[in-house]
């Protein structure tokens, strides 16, 4: 087999693994994306040492899988609903910080991070949010609950900056992981809190640009 045939076969294998991984996620047989890829590798009998599907390949298969199930319009409605819910969460957090944090008007507005900041909502069902405030996580969780969010819970997450408060919220359309950033902590907004890799972010105004016009 020449090198071009080898590359072609590897590409087909990655595509098959990606398709199987997306099925595992959609059917609830995988805990997260990494688990789904491992299941896809096992299901397709692929080499565990082979190259994993890229995020772009996985997103493409996720989009195709959803459109085959609910159609293009159905996928569009689902994405619009997730964006609307994310905007509502950002709005509640910002209103709470501005009205209850003594220096709320000087705080950076809450923002979503990662693929959701680009409006890419085909693969990862979790929307990651950061909010800078002196208010406690419990206060923020109570504000979300008072505005109709179903039972937010407070916990913590280990980051490059130490352990930070995290609010977990399972909304009607998506799951949210909201990290509270203490005002005195210097955090690089353009880097992932855990891995330190570059990451995109969008506040309410920026995220609303991805929302469908009505």
Kindly report the CA angle at 124 between 174 and 168, in degrees rounded to 5? 45
Kindly give the confidence (pLDDT) of every residue in the chain, 214 residues in length, as a single tens digit, with 9 standing for 90 and above: 455 444 556 667 888 999 999 998 888 898 788 888 999 999 888 877 788 888 888 888 888 887 888 888 888 888 899 999 999 999 999 999 999 999 999 999 999 999 889 888 877 668 999 999 999 999 999 999 999 988 899 999 999 999 999 999 998 888 999 999 999 999 999 999 999 999 999 999 999 988 766 5
Residues 6+ apart with CB under 8 A from 87: 204, 207, 208, 211
Q: What SS3 state is found at 136?
A: coil
How far is it, in rounded angstroms, from Cα 207 to Cα 29?
Answer: 31
Residues 6+ apart with CB under 8 A from 161: 185, 187, 193
- pTM value > 0.85: no
């Amino acid at each position: 087999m020449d090198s071009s045939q080898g590359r072609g076969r590897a590409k087909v294998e990655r595509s098959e693994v990606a398709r199987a991984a997306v099925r595992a996620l959609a059917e609830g047989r995988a805990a997260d994306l990494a688990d789904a890829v491992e299941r896809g590798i096992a299901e397709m009998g692929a080499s565990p040492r082979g190259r994993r599907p890229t995020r772009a390949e996985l997103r493409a298969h996720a989009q195709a899988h959803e459109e085959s199930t609910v159609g293009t319009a159905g996928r569009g409605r689902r994405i619009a609903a997730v964006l609307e819910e994310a905007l509502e969460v950002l709005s509640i957090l910002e209103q709470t910080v501005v009205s209850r944090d003594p220096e709320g008007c000087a705080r950076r507005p809450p923002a979503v991070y990662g693929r959701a900041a680009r409006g890419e909502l085909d693969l990862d069902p979790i929307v990651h949010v950061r909010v800078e405030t002196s208010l406690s996580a419990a206060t923020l969780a109570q504000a979300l609950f008072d505005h109709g969010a179903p039972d937010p819970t407070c916990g913590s997450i280990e980051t490059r900056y130490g352990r930070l408060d995290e609010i977990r919220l399972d909304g009607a359309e998506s799951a949210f992981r909201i990290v509270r950033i203490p005002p005195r902590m210097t955090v690089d907004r353009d880097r992932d809190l855990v891995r330190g890799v570059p990451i995109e972010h969008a506040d309410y105004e920026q995220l609303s640009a991805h929302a469908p016009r009505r």
